[in-house]
Amino acid sequence: MFDLFRSRDKAVRILLGAVLSVVALSMLVYLIPGGFGSSSGGPDDQVVAEIGKQEVSLREVEVQVQNLRRNRQIPNDLLHVYVPQLIDQMITERAIAYEARRLGYVVTDSELADAIQAASNGQFQDVAVYKRYIEDQGMTVPEFESSLRDNLLMLRLQSVAMAGIVVTPAEIQQEYDRVNEKVKVQYLLFSENTLQGKIQPTPADLNKYFSDHKGSYQIPEQRNATVLVVDQAKVAASIEIPDAQALAFYNANLDQYRTPERVNVRHILLTTTGKSPQEVEQIRKKAEDILKQLRAGADFADLAKKNSQDPGSAANGGDLGWIVRGQTVKNFESAAFSLKPKQLSDLVTTEYGFHILQVMDHQDAHVKPFTEVKNDIATAMKKQDVNQRMQALADQAQREVSKSPQNAQQIASQLGLTVIAAQKLGPSDPVPGLVAPALSTAIAALKPNEVSQPVAIGDQRIALAVCTAIVPAHPAEFADVATAVRRQYVSEQALKLAAEDGAKAAAELKSGKDIAAVAKEFGVEVKSPEPFARVGAIEGVGPASVLDAAFHSAPGAVVGPVAVAGQTVVAKLVEKIASDPSQLAGQRDALIAQIKGRRQQERMSLFEDSVRSRLVQEGKIKIHKDVINRLVASYQS
């Protein structure tokens, strides 16, 4: 087989995953003859079924099940239901491949190679990688290629069986009408949520409900724990930064406190960008008039708010705050750094337009004095010291409590930590006073006297816990689950009331009563959603299939009551809207494909049943029920 690849140029290596998923479809593993080392002559208790001389081995089924579990394609608690279906599918597909061979269909080496190349878009040509990948799957190359041949044979026989499907114009029209016909309804919605307020259970009601459903209320395994919390505020209060330490830091980092020359400036801008020379001249005259007003004593901030076209500063009276050299365009900078405090500039021209500047303050380059920055330095140093001390305290507490878990309270007191006594914590219950899912998860995994790793709670606390006791899972007492019992009781009764109200409302509508009057009687609203098709959705309700009966009824008919997602809906059919004939041509191809697909599925089911039944009658298929039952039982347990 490898010779078929040697004639092609070597290309980029790719995983055979594309080949496995595209060519072999769902049969890549379990169509391997004697897959994964199970030979055809294996013990009977390892063989699930025989199709001719081929076998479906127990190991093949288990590999498929493990793949499903690993990919989370089916819940573990449903495996005992799914496994028999999986085995049935494996037997059926292998039976079809067997029938194809018996009818004389063959797949040549060249066809097999072409299939692999087609699946990989012609990129898979490295023989060594091909061989190594197959072997990594626990197969030999001949086994893998045999499985692909079976798959191609099965597809070929299926295509023959599916050939010749004809869709008539009448069927196209019928499908078009079915898909595009719409209905318009009015409906009443009786919701469990809105009816819960009407349910007022007595203590006797709740106790009886609990007694009737006691098996449903189980308390899962719980843990008692002592939680030690390192609090940032508490640690920070114990730390003082001496002035000498802060001064040493200041002297070692003087560059951090150097301030370059800077000015505090405000301006008024009249833009000239994109303006004609005549417009620029008019703008200049307006700027000169504003400057004249300022020199006459007008308020700068007020004129800036009214006239400045700088969106970043106009609303703030033109204030730009402190600027340093290099922040603004050259002409603006030259003017700003040449003015004295409170001095107005002449008109300053830049590429943006005409500016009027006023410098509010001017500072030469300098180093901020220690007295000015001392508090900031102390705060930063304290923050760094607090974080280090918090982690050190948490690590120390974890070490000491691990050695002496029964003394957790005393250790916490010695280290200045806060203690929380957490009682009867379920697997996901929060520790009182802490929002820390990671801590709850850690506690749920602890054994008695075992200590968790420190867990960060935001950036202000670190916590660790020691498990003091485990409370085994046990039936709940009413007091333990009173809230849950009441919630469930009220929900069920409200749902029942919604169904009862829906049934009464439907009866009144069917008797001819006006829908608005019925809505008023039951305290609900009449909803009038937009018309919808069979494949559409009903606003406020859900998929159109909920009211499918409306498509089979005449206007005026009452549909329901229908239960849907905690609600009961009752509808009255207002109008049926026929499909638009002018749109049929544009949907014809899609409709033909839909009809053919549906009919192919029907034919495939009949075809597979026919092939399998005949091979069973001929004794070509033998199914070992005892092996299957044993396997299913293992997943039930």
- CA 256 vs. chain centroid, Å, equals 45
CA angle 314, 316, 317 (to 5 degrees): 70
In whole angstroms, give the CA distance from residue 606 to residue 96: 12
Q: Which CATH class is domain 182-202+481-577?
A: alpha beta
pLDDT tier for residue 67 given thresholds of 50, 70 and 90: low
Domain boundaries, the chain: 3-164+617-636, 182-202+481-577, 222-232+388-473, 261-364
> Can you tell me the mean pLDDT for 608-621?
86
How far apart (Å, rounded) are the C-alpha atoms in residues 285 and 307?
A: 13
User: Nearest CA to 389 among 230, 228, 227, 248?
Assistant: 230
pLDDT score of 595 more than 50 = yes
Question: pLDDT confidence of 496, banded at 50, 70, 90?
Answer: very high
User: At the topology level of CATH, where does 261-364 sit?
Assistant: Chitinase A; domain 3 (3.10.50)
pLDDT of the residue at 42: 44
How much of the chain exceeds pLDDT 70, in percent? 87
Percentage of the chain beyond pLDDT 90 is 39
pLDDT above 70: residue 284: yes
CA 170 to chain centre: 44
**Cβ pair 186, 572 in contact under 8 A:** yes
Mode of pairing for the β-strands spanning 537-538 and 542-543: antiparallel
Lowest mean pLDDT among 137-151, 203-217, 273-287: 137-151
For the segment 343-356, the average pLDDT, to the nearest whole number, is 94
Render pLDDT for 504-517 as a digit per residue (tens, 0 to 9): 999 999 999 999 99
pLDDT at residue 76, rounded to an integer: 67
Is the model's pLDDT at 323 over the cut of 80?
A: yes
- Domain at 222-232+388-473: CATH architecture: Roll (3.10)
Asked whether the domain spanning 261-364 has the same topology as the one spanning 222-232+388-473, the reply is yes
pLDDT-based confidence at residue 35 (cuts at 50, 70, 90): very low
CB atoms within 10 A of CB 239: 13
Bridge partners of residue 420, in order along the sequence: 227
Domain boundaries 3-164+617-636, CATH class: mainly alpha
Is a pLDDT exceeding 60 seen at residue 428? yes
pLDDT tier at 572, thresholds 50, 70, 90 = very high
Average pLDDT over residues 267-285: 94
The greatest distance separating any two alpha carbons of the chain, rounded to the nearest whole angstrom, comes to 115
Q: Tens of pLDDT along 441-484?
A: 899 999 999 999 999 888 788 999 999 999 998 888 898 889 99
Is the confidence at residue 557, as pLDDT, over 80? yes
Please report where in the chains the tokens 């330490």 appear, as a residue: 245
